[in-house]
Amino acid sequence: MARLELVAGDITREAVDAIVNAANESLLGGGGVDGAIHRAGGPEILAECRTLGGCATGDAKATTAGRLEARWVIHTVGPVWVGGGAGEDDLLASCHRRSIEVAAEVGARSIAFPAISTGVYGFPKERAAPIALGSAREAAADHPTVDLVRFVLFSDTDLRLWRGALERSDPP
Ligand code: ADP
């Protein structure tokens, strides 16, 4: 069973095998986590992204990680929140499932996620947290080579919110 950890911090500093990027469908860069990852990792990541032909919402694709401590960046595209009736929950779950599948494919044993879709994409955090935690936990159970799943929250407030969601969620 994978260890599930919640921390506050900057995901670009994480020394795990793979960090997840909250990308957009073009994979050609954006703001938020995406901008931070490309800035910290250097141009190599974008050069690889250009060869991938974009990524559908809910899917994930890996590149190497340039200057980052991680070995891989797994780019996933979260749903834009448009009110909750357009499959946003399922797409958010799919991001976590696909990211862990891709991590297993490249041989990453540890993976760190940001709070996908909860920035510019506007997904309510209280609703995103249990979906992210539940889908990541399920996917990790299906891919036992992935033994550490860490969520890196960008503020102490977010960390508290996610801790609350974890406490309320089903025990493993
Ligand atoms: P999206 O477009 O999927 O909403 P954003 O990058 O705008 O993605 O935001 C996703 C989440 O990542 C937000 O909760 C934001 O506060 C957080 N975030 C932004 N920068 C970082 C970072 N360097 N490390 C970890 N989390 C970050």
The pLDDT value recorded for residue 1 is 78
Find the DSSP H helices in the chain: 32-41, 43-50, 88-106, 125-142, 156-168
Q: Is 121 in the pocket of ligand 1 (CB under 6 A)?
A: yes
Q: Residues 112-135: pLDDT tens digits?
A: 999 999 999 999 999 999 999 999
Q: Is residue 159 lining ligand 1, measured as CB closer than 6 Å?
A: no
CA of 33 to the centre of ligand 1 (A): 4
pLDDT on residue 171: 61
pLDDT on residue 172: 55
Residues with catalytic annotation? 34
Helix (H) or strand (E) holding 111: strand 110-113
**Lowest-pLDDT range, 134-138, 147-151, 168-172?**
168-172
User: Domains in the chain, please, with CATH?
Assistant: 3-169 (3.40.220.10)
Residues 39-57: tens digit of each pLDDT:
999 999 999 999 999 999 9
- Per-residue pLDDT band at 33 (split at 50, 70, 90): very high
Q: Of ligand 1's atoms, which has the minimum distance to the CA of residue 32? A: 6
